[in-house]
């Protein structure tokens, strides 16, 4: 029997059971095979092939330019690496809004061509038709409320959302709607911790936070941010576990020096 068969995979049922027994869910982004292999080996529960690839991989200012073809390429690389984690793929901007037929077609391409386990999309009531249509095809859907980066030009800034009562009430309503529609989980991005706690207590599905405090069912970060590969992005909610930008820059400088001085390769490093 191969090693793949012996590992208990994470499913939507496992994630919901984790919420029920109050076990926190860990989630990170991944966009390529090598990084996904490391994160999966470490025991991460969910890997998100996020449209943040548009920022951290492609260098765009927003998540809007990334295409469905790009997302599928990243998702294929991640799925090939994973033995245990549940792999969720972001539906990119323009692939689901205002058109549930398009939403289903985009989802089917992701699921067929990458082998991922579910999709994520941003928004509440305004994307409910798309969510229902995708769910009717048997594909698990993760919602995303609060700061939804695909709407950056509507918001105008990346600052904390739902600080005002009206927006907070709408967010709570949207979270309940996502649960009723059948989403298996909801991401809350950059909202007050008290509101996030209220949402987590009001729905039966796992609520995963990013900049939403500790009283939710799990946490997600962009891997390049938590590993310190991105250097200039320093929001309050981010905890850096490594300073890879500096470490990799230093290693590169040492390599350049070894090449220039003729120190590399030495006698043992050649044939
Ligand atoms: O694309 C992404 O990385 C995300 C996370 C910030 C949740 O949506």
Q: Are residues 65 and 184 in the same domain?
A: yes
Q: Are residues 264 and 162 in the same domain?
A: no
Average pLDDT over residues 68-73: 98
> What's the 122 CA to ligand 1 centre distance in angstroms?
10
Q: Are residues 39 and 142 in the same domain?
A: yes
For the Cβ of 50 lying below 6 angstroms from any atom of ligand 1, the answer is yes
Average pLDDT over residues 198-203: 98
SS3 sequence, the chain? CCHHHHCCCCCHHHHHHHHHCCCCEEEEECCCHHHHHHHHHHCCCEEEECCCHHHHCCCCCCCCCCCHHHHHHHHHHHHHHCCCCEEEEECCCCCCCCCHHHHHHHHHHHHHHHCCCEEECCECHHHHHHHHHHHHCCCCEEEEEECCHHHHHHHCCCCCCCCCHHHHHHHHHHHHHHHHHCCCEEEEECCCHHHHHHHHHHCCCCEEEECCCCCCCEEEECHHHHCCCCCCCCCCCCCCCCCHHHHHHHHHHHHHHHHHHCCCCCHHHCC
> What's the 6 CA to ligand 1 centre distance in angstroms?
30
Backbone phi and psi for residue 44, each to the nearest 5 degrees, phi listed first: -65, 145
Q: Are residues 7 and 91 in the same domain?
A: yes
Average pLDDT over residues 69-77: 98
Q: Are residues 116 and 250 in the same domain?
A: no
Q: For position 3, what pLDDT does the model report? A: 54
Q: Are residues 227 and 262 in the same domain?
A: no
Q: Domain containing 110 — which CATH number?
A: 3.20.20.60
Chain-wide mean pLDDT for the chain? 97
For the Cβ of 90 lying below 6 angstroms from any atom of ligand 1, the answer is yes
Instruction: List beta partners, residue 186.
Output: 143, 207
Q: Are residues 151 and 266 in the same domain?
A: no
Look at ligand 1, atom 8, and give the residue with the nearest C-alpha: 50
Q: Are residues 234 and 258 in the same domain?
A: no
pLDDT at 53 over 60: yes
- To test the pocket of ligand 1, the residue of 46, 47, 48 to mutate (highest count of ligand atoms within 8 Å of its CB) is 48
For the Cβ of 222 lying below 6 angstroms from any atom of ligand 1, the answer is yes
**Cβ 56 vs Cβ 238: under 8 Å:** no
| 258: containing domain | 243-271
Determine the Cα–Cα distance for residues 28 and 86; give it in Å rounded to an integer.
11
Q: Are residues 226 and 262 in the same domain?
A: no
Q: Are residues 59 and 99 in the same domain?
A: yes
**Maximum alpha-carbon separation in the chain:** 70
Determine the Cα–Cα distance for residues 98 and 205; give it in Å rounded to an integer.
25
The model's pTM is: 0.96
Q: Are residues 205 and 259 in the same domain?
A: no
Average pLDDT over residues 104-123: 98
Number of folded domains that form the chain: 2
Active site residue 167: no
Q: For position 235, what pLDDT does the model report? A: 96
Average pLDDT over residues 146-164: 96
- To test the pocket of ligand 1, the residue of 56, 92, 93, 189 to mutate (highest count of ligand atoms within 8 Å of its CB) is 189
Catalytic residue among 113, 179, 189, 247: 189
For the Cβ of 77 lying below 6 angstroms from any atom of ligand 1, the answer is no
Q: Are residues 169 and 233 in the same domain?
A: yes
């Amino acid at each position: 029997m191969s090693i793949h068969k012996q590992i208990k995979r994470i499913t939507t049922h496992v994630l919901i059971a984790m919420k029920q027994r109050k076990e926190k869910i860990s989630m990170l982004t991944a966009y390529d095979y090598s990084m996904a292999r490391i994160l999966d080996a470490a025991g991460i529960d969910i890997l998100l092939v996020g449209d943040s690839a548009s920022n951290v991989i492609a260098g765009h200012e927003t998540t809007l330019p990334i295409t469905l073809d790009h997302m599928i390429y990243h998702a294929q690389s991640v799925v090939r690496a994973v033995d245990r984690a549940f792999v969720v793929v972001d539906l990119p901007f323009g692939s689901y809004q205002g058109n549930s037929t398009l939403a289903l077609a985009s989802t089917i391409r992701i699921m067929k061509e990458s082998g991922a386990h579910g999709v994520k999309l941003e928004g509440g009531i305004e994307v409910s038709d798309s969510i229902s249509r995708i769910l009717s095809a048997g594909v698990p859907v993760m919602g995303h409320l609060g700061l939804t980066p695909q709407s950056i030009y509507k918001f105008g800034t990346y600052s904390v959302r739902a600080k005002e009562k009206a927006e907070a009430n709408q967010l709570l309503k949207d979270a309940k709607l996502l649960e009723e529609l059948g989403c298996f989980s909801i991401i809350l991005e950059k909202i007050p911790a008290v509101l996030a706690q209220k949402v987590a207590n009001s729905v039966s599905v796992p609520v995963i936070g990013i900049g939403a405090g500790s009283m939710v069912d799990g946490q997600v970060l962009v891997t390049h941010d938590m590993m310190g590969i991105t250097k200039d992005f320093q929001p309050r909610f981010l905890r850096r576990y490594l300073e890879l930008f500096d470490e990799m820059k230093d290693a590169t400088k040492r390599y350049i020096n070894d090449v220039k001085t003729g120190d590399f390769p030495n006698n043992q490093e050649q044939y």
